[in-house]
Amino acid sequence: MKLYEYVAAGLSIAATSTVELRRHSLATLCLSGKGTPFATAVSQAFDCARDLSLLNAARAAASNEDWAIKADTLLELVGRGD
């Protein structure tokens, strides 16, 4: 969830590629690994940080992962008794 909190705050992210991070499709998540050096991921993250359309797209995607939405979903599930 920290990933989404950073993105919701308008930050771009450079990280080492992991299975978990590759599952996320965020415009400002720049991964290293498999032939992409970490320095390249950092450079891409700086580029993303200057692109308002990418930041807005990532924020929109992250808004679906808000804690309030997660809590509402859980309360809905508990309330249904399924």
Q: What's the pLDDT score for residue 34?
A: 86
Structure tokens given for 35: 């032939």
Q: How many beta carbons lie within 10 A of that of residue 46, not counting itself?
A: 11
Q: Any idea where the domains of the chain sit in the sequence?
A: 2-80
CA distances to 18, 22, 45, 58, 69 from 15, in Å: 9, 10, 9, 16, 26
The whole-chain average pLDDT of the chain stands at 90
pTM over 0.85: no
* 8 A C-beta contact, residue 82 and residue 70: no
- Give the 3-state secondary structure of residue 14: strand
Would you place residue 45 in the very low, low, confident or very high pLDDT band (cuts 50, 70, 90)? very high
Instruction: Please state the rounded mean pLDDT for residues 38-52.
Output: 97
Q: What average pLDDT does range 12-36 have in this prediction?
A: 94
Q: How confident is the model at residue 67 (pLDDT cuts 50, 70, 90)?
A: confident
